[in-house]
Amino acid sequence: MFGKYVLALAVTVTVAAVGGHGAAAAAAPARPAPATPPQLGAAVNTVMLAGGDGRYVRTLLGHYGSVTPEYEMEMSQLEPARDRFDFARADRIVRFGARHGLPVRGHTLVWDEMVPAWVGAGHPTRPQLLQILHHYIQTVVAHYRGRVEEWDVVNEPLLTDGSLRPSIWERVIGPGYIALAFRWAHQADPGAALFVNEYGAEWRDAKEQALHRLVAGLRRAHVPVSGVGFQAHLRLDAHPPQAEFAGVLASFARLGMRLEVTELDVRAGGRAPLAQRLTEEAAIYRSVAAACRAVPACVRITTWGVTDAASWLGESQRGLPFDASYRAKPAWRALAAAVSRRG
């Protein structure tokens, strides 16, 4: 399992940057502050939980109110061979959550990445792939029924231009894979909140508009979608103006969606002095939190990890609220202050 974690760090280097967004701001609607501030959550993983370093668990429990398994609920982890399910690592996180009263976000049922090799190797026909996906969703969601509060049912379904992201699901099943996944998840646990989760949709642009059309279409078709997750993998040189993100959130709130920031981090590498980069990073954390705070439907902000020492971005990007020695960074202070501020 350590290998998996190292692999995740290596993958970082090849992941495309979320850049290239214009900075044209849209006016944020004036809204009263919600009575309850958004809850703070963190992605956690079993390597760090079991790592023997009490600082990780102490920092987590001292500052966060919910958890997301960082990779333990990917399909390649949960069904590594056909019909052989392995819940051991994911169960550890769910038990940890229950023990400490932390709700768990399930991440993620259907994604174009982390699909185990056996799925494509059999060159499934459409009926065969439908059966594979139905069996997978039914088994996993039923296993965690009543214990996982909400699921990212479909992860990253769109490309930057707003078209559907190619995947084995989209290619073999067709665009209808999205609605089917939600219906099957709902059947397996009618009490779970079901999310579509996307990155790079924090700006008003083609991808964000396509996401809006996608969710509106699902609602019209009475598909049981309850929420939209905005990953918010941001960078010092690519982050949405606060008013623009608040406007995006408000437009999804009007669709009746529960909203969350699901994977917040900020790539803060570069040649500028570290103190300057950390100050700029904190301003981005503050702005994301303030945008969420301004929209009552935005109920949770999850950071994609706790400490820079274990970020998928690598420690040098300094992406998270706590440094490698578990000291709170300016980003933590900005985040904590912005979620609790009234008005």
Residues 165-204 within binding reach of ligand XIL (CB under 6 A): 199
Least distance (Å) between residue 208 CB and ligand XIL? 17
Binding to ligand XIL by CB under 6 A, coded x per residue (else -) over 140-169, reads ---------------x--------------
Catalytic residue among 150, 263, 280, 281: 263
Q: Which of 70, 79, 150, 156 is catalytic?
A: 156
Query: Applying CB under 6 A, what is the total number of residues that bind ligand XIL?
Result: 9
312 binds ligand XIL (CB under 6 A): yes
User: What character string, x for contact with ligand XIL (CB under 6 A) and - otherwise, covers 260-289?
Assistant: ---x--------------------------
Could you tell me the smallest distance in angstroms from the CB atom of residue 152 to ligand XIL? 7
Has 263 been annotated as catalytic?
A: yes
Could you say which of 66, 167, 231, 242 contacts ligand XIL (CB under 6 A)?
Answer: 231
Q: What is the closest distance, in whole angstroms, from the C-beta atom of residue 248 to ligand XIL in the complex?
A: 18
Label each residue of the chain as H, E or C: CHHHHHHHHHHHHHCCCCCCCCCCCCCCCCCCCCCCCCEEEEEECHHHHCCCCHHHHHHHHHHCCEEEECCCCCHHHHCCECCECCCHHHHHHHHHHHHHCCCEEEEEEECCCCCCHHHHHCCCCHHHHHHHHHHHHHHHHHHCCCCCCEEEEEECCECCCCCECCCHHHHHHCCCHHHHHHHHHHHHCCCCEEEEEECCCCCCCHHHHHHHHHHHHHHHCCCCCCEEEECCEEECCECCCHHHHHHHHHHHHCCCCEEEEEEEEEECCCCCCHHHHHHHHHHHHHHHHHHHHCCCCEEEEEECCCEHHHCCCCHHHCCCCECCCCCECHHHHHHHHHHHCCC
Q: With respect to ligand XIL, which residue has the nearer C-beta, 312 or 322?
A: 312
Q: Nearest residue by C-beta to ligand XIL?
A: 312
Q: Compute the least distance from the CB of residue 8 to ligand XIL, in Å.
A: 3
Binders of ligand XIL in range 55-74 (CB under 6 A)? 70-71
Q: Could you tell me the smallest distance in angstroms from the CB atom of residue 283 to ligand XIL? A: 23
Residues with catalytic function: 156, 263
| Residues that bind ligand XIL in the complex, under the rule CB under 6 A | 8, 70-71, 108, 155, 199, 231, 263, 312
